[in-house]
Chains A and B, each alone.
Chain A
Amino acid sequence: MSNPLLEIKNLKTSFRIGEEYYAAVDDVSLNVNENEVLAIVGESGSGKSALAFSVMGLHNRAKIEGEINFKGRNIANIPTKEMNKFRGNELSMIFQDPLTALNPLMEVGRQIDEVLILHNKNMPKSKRKKYIIELLERVEIPRPQHVYNQFPHELSGGMRQRVIIAIAIANQPELLIADEPTTALDVTIQAQILDLIRELKDDLGSGVILITHDLGVVAEMADRVAVMYAGEIVEVADVDTLFSDPQHPYTRSLLSSIPLLDDVQDKLHVIHGIVPSLKNLPRTGCRFSSRIPWMDEDVHEENPELSEVSPGHFVRCTCYKHFYFPDENKEEQDHDTTKS
């Protein structure tokens, strides 16, 4: 396979709290290929947005270390002026909350127009308008001529998210980052928006980073999945492998906390607790160990690394080999022998 579209190498994004810097994204390496949807899942606070913002260069007071190679060029820490040539053009982003992501004082048409003006200096106004109407049609907004002159508050949440998508795809981006694009929408609208994103991806052949904490969305949309916990990637696999053969305790608890309709499970396993705050994050050893206190201390690696358990399937820390849910009361020794 040729070079990946996006190659993140040892990315570390740290925020300053008081006098110290604390990493919200810690040594993350990931690739995204063309025409591929990479889902990033993880609980609130695990660093998903911090990762996406790093790629877009949208953090204004963060320390970014490592490499973000986009089409072979490292765009980490490049000057804003340089970055602005990528943003909205080859690299674009859809945000979580459509209700606040549009300027309330600007007509919808003008907000889409802005991204055209910024990257197509020579496109005449009439042509831009025509193209914007096409875009609005493309994202399935009814009465685009009318909507062109409407203000955001006159549109529903779903419609606004379509407008935001129109802005994001206006310049046919090669990489589209969608940070929880449907979290703020109700279920039927969610499905429509996801369908739309997938169609657009197929049309444009773009790479997509889809951030979500909804495993249903992952199953439906993703080609590959990266599971993030406390700033680290704990497991990466293609979507089928991840669902059929999850390894890391965190992934397994995420999966087992979704109720299944056919009721094969007799019990939902819910991992208690939350992702610790940045300041209180354990920086050594297995970061997940505090969430599985019933497990032996020495099942964890001292310096857990991602290891490849099967081609393209990476898991962090050896604790996965021994993991069991507390109420099962039996160690999964068989697992241990088959996998290592």
Chain B
Amino acid sequence: MWKFIVRRLLITSPQIIFLSLLVFVLASFMPGDALTGAIGPDVKAERLAELREELGFNDPWYIQYKDWVAGILQGSLGESFQYKMDVEDLIWQRVINTFWLSLVSVIFIYAIGLPLGILSGRYNDTLLDQLITGYTYIGFATPIFIFGLVALWIFGYILGWFPTGGSVDPGVESGSIEYILSKLQHLLLPGLSIALIGTVSTVQYLRSEIIDTKQKDFILTARAKGASERRVYNRHIFRNSILPIAAFFGYEIINLINGTIFIEQIFSYPGMGQLFLDSIVIRDYTVVTALVLLTGIGAIVGALLSDIILSLVDPRIRIK
């Protein structure tokens, strides 16, 4: 078991190194450099060249890469020229906001997806199943930003049930009950928007897993033992069908990163996604690079998590 996890972790490190190289190379292709935006238009070209030399921009790429990585390892992601502050400080609060949004979304994704998937798999080809499947098709076809916009318009502006932006009401005292409730209130609509679209793959996946498991031979064995329909479903079919879903959990993180980018923008929710889009528009490259690196690592960790979960729940993968 531990051997498996250690081995899996070992595979992860080259992945992260590769990712960092990729991000570095892409960043170096971006037009201009960190000085382009940071320095006023009246600075002389000679002075710029001097600065570039001083800051090491003329060094060979591997030296630059080494310096960059060394900086990251010491906790420095560079400076945002837009906010005139260290990127790590800038990102930190956003990461926390995005974390809460993702958590709420994940809870909704499973709260919606598991029951729908189970129902539609168990009663496949009934009217109920057709309704649920119909929903998943619509969900697949609807871009999340359109869905988010419509949800914001209806429930935020027209009905006024939810706040239309921000992550917390201004003026509530941090740490108080009202603060937490206000945060939660700000999370519900964007979280639900992500979940209603994001859960459709879970529903479809679970449905087809259940339909598949239903006709496995060991289900016949269970029936031949005299197990009731309920027992057959609870002990044999669901357990065996949810397994791949559990394994999918880590990949859900990648899914969420996609979702939050748009939704945060639409709901003016101050998270990483919003910062990312803003930074691209104003060419705040240090921030963009840092965010790409971070989400990349998030995705790799997600995949790692999936494998570990799978190895925990599936005895066939457990390695002793």
Are both chains from one complex?
Answer: yes
Chain B residues lying within 8 Å of A88, measured Cβ to Cβ, are 224-227
The reply to whether A114 and B217 contact each other, CB–CB distance below 8 Å, is no
Which of B126-134, B178-186, B236-244, B288-296 is the interface stretch?
B236-244
Closest residue to B213 on the A side, CB-wise? A103
Residue among B224, B235, B240, B315 making CB contact with A93, cutoff 8 Å: B224
The reply to whether A101 and B225 contact each other, CB–CB distance below 8 Å, is no
Chain B positions 175-234 with a Cβ under 8 Å from a chain A Cβ: 216-218, 220-229, 231
Chain A residues lying within 8 Å of B243, measured Cβ to Cβ, are 105
Closest residue to A115 on the B side, CB-wise? B225
Contact with A along B146-187 (1 / 0, CB 8 A): 000000000000000000000000000000000000000000
A102 and B217 alpha carbons, distance in the complex (Å): 8
Asked if B7 CB lies within 8 Å of chain A CBs, one says no
Asked if B314 CB lies within 8 Å of chain A CBs, one says yes
Closest residue to B218 on the A side, CB-wise? A103
Known pairs A101-B218, A105-B240, A153-B316; A87 contacts B225 (CB<8 A): yes
Residue among A58, A80, A81, A92 making CB contact with B220, cutoff 8 Å: A58
The reply to whether B314 and A105 contact each other, CB–CB distance below 8 Å, is yes
Q: Smallest Cβ distance from A97 to chain B, in angstroms?
A: 6
The reply to whether B226 and A103 contact each other, CB–CB distance below 8 Å, is no
Q: Smallest Cβ distance from A304 to chain B, in angstroms?
A: 33
The reply to whether B221 and A164 contact each other, CB–CB distance below 8 Å, is yes
Residue among B221, B226, B235, B315 making CB contact with A101, cutoff 8 Å: B221
Chain B residues lying within 8 Å of A86, measured Cβ to Cβ, are 226
Q: Smallest Cβ distance from A18 to chain B, in angstroms?
A: 15
Asked if A288 CB lies within 8 Å of chain B CBs, one says no
The reply to whether B315 and A104 contact each other, CB–CB distance below 8 Å, is yes
Central interface residue in B218, B220, B316, by most chain A CB within 10 Å: B218
Q: Smallest Cβ distance from B237 to chain A, in angstroms?
A: 10
Closest residue to B314 on the A side, CB-wise? A105
A104 and B235 alpha carbons, distance in the complex (Å): 12
A103 and B239 alpha carbons, distance in the complex (Å): 10
Chain A residues lying within 8 Å of B229, measured Cβ to Cβ, are 80
Q: Smallest Cβ distance from B218 to chain A, in angstroms?
A: 5
Contact with B along A78-111 (1 / 0, CB 8 A): 0011011111110011010100111111000001
A103 and B224 alpha carbons, distance in the complex (Å): 13
Known pairs A58-B223, A100-B216; A84 contacts B228 (CB<8 A): yes
A118 and B230 alpha carbons, distance in the complex (Å): 13
Chain B residues lying within 8 Å of A151, measured Cβ to Cβ, are 315-316
Q: Smallest Cβ distance from B231 to chain A, in angstroms?
A: 8
Chain B residues lying within 8 Å of A81, measured Cβ to Cβ, are 228
Chain B residues lying within 8 Å of A167, measured Cβ to Cβ, are 221, 225
The reply to whether A85 and B226 contact each other, CB–CB distance below 8 Å, is yes
Q: Smallest Cβ distance from B247 to chain A, in angstroms?
A: 13
Residue among B225, B313, B316 making CB contact with A114, cutoff 8 Å: B225
Chain A residues lying within 8 Å of B315, measured Cβ to Cβ, are 104-105, 151, 153
The reply to whether B226 and A104 contact each other, CB–CB distance below 8 Å, is no
The reply to whether A97 and B217 contact each other, CB–CB distance below 8 Å, is yes
A103 and B316 alpha carbons, distance in the complex (Å): 12
Residue among B224, B231, B240 making CB contact with A92, cutoff 8 Å: B224
Q: Smallest Cβ distance from B314 to chain A, in angstroms?
A: 7
The reply to whether B221 and A84 contact each other, CB–CB distance below 8 Å, is no
Q: Smallest Cβ distance from A247 to chain B, in angstroms?
A: 35
Asked if A138 CB lies within 8 Å of chain B CBs, one says no
Closest residue to A87 on the B side, CB-wise? B226
Asked if A269 CB lies within 8 Å of chain B CBs, one says no
Chain A residues lying within 8 Å of B221, measured Cβ to Cβ, are 95, 101-103, 111, 164, 167
Closest residue to B240 on the A side, CB-wise? A105
Residue among A97, A102, A119 making CB contact with B226, cutoff 8 Å: A119
The reply to whether A102 and B224 contact each other, CB–CB distance below 8 Å, is no
Closest residue to B229 on the A side, CB-wise? A80
The reply to whether A95 and B225 contact each other, CB–CB distance below 8 Å, is no
Closest residue to B315 on the A side, CB-wise? A151
Known pairs A104-B315, A104-B316; A87 contacts B223 (CB<8 A): yes
The reply to whether B220 and A118 contact each other, CB–CB distance below 8 Å, is no
Chain B residues lying within 8 Å of A102, measured Cβ to Cβ, are 218, 221
Chain B residues lying within 8 Å of A56, measured Cβ to Cβ, are 224
Q: Smallest Cβ distance from A75 to chain B, in angstroms?
A: 13
Central interface residue in B221, B223, B243, by most chain A CB within 10 Å: B221
Chain B residues lying within 8 Å of A84, measured Cβ to Cβ, are 226-228
Known pairs A103-B236, A104-B315; A114 contacts B218 (CB<8 A): no
A97 and B218 alpha carbons, distance in the complex (Å): 10
A100 and B219 alpha carbons, distance in the complex (Å): 10
Closest residue to A164 on the B side, CB-wise? B221
Chain B residues lying within 8 Å of A85, measured Cβ to Cβ, are 226
The reply to whether A104 and B224 contact each other, CB–CB distance below 8 Å, is no
A164 and B222 alpha carbons, distance in the complex (Å): 11
Q: Smallest Cβ distance from A23 to chain B, in angstroms?
A: 22
Q: Smallest Cβ distance from B238 to chain A, in angstroms?
A: 11
Chain A residues lying within 8 Å of B218, measured Cβ to Cβ, are 100-104
The reply to whether B240 and A103 contact each other, CB–CB distance below 8 Å, is yes
A167 and B221 alpha carbons, distance in the complex (Å): 9
Given A88-B226, A111-B221, 8 additional A-B pairs, CB 8 A: A56-B224, A80-B228, A95-B220, A100-B216, A103-B222, A104-B315, A151-B316, A164-B221
Would you list 17 pairs from A and B whose C-beta atoms are within 8 A, ordered by A residue? A58-B223, A85-B226, A87-B224, A95-B220, A95-B221, A95-B224, A100-B218, A103-B222, A104-B315, A105-B313, A111-B221, A114-B227, A115-B225, A115-B226, A151-B316, A153-B316, A168-B224
Residues of B within 8 A of A (CB): 216-218, 220-229, 231, 235-236, 239-240, 243, 313-316
Q: Ordered nearest first, which 8 A-B pairs have the shortest CB separation?
A: A88-B225, A88-B226, A87-B226, A100-B217, A84-B226, A115-B225, A151-B315, A103-B218
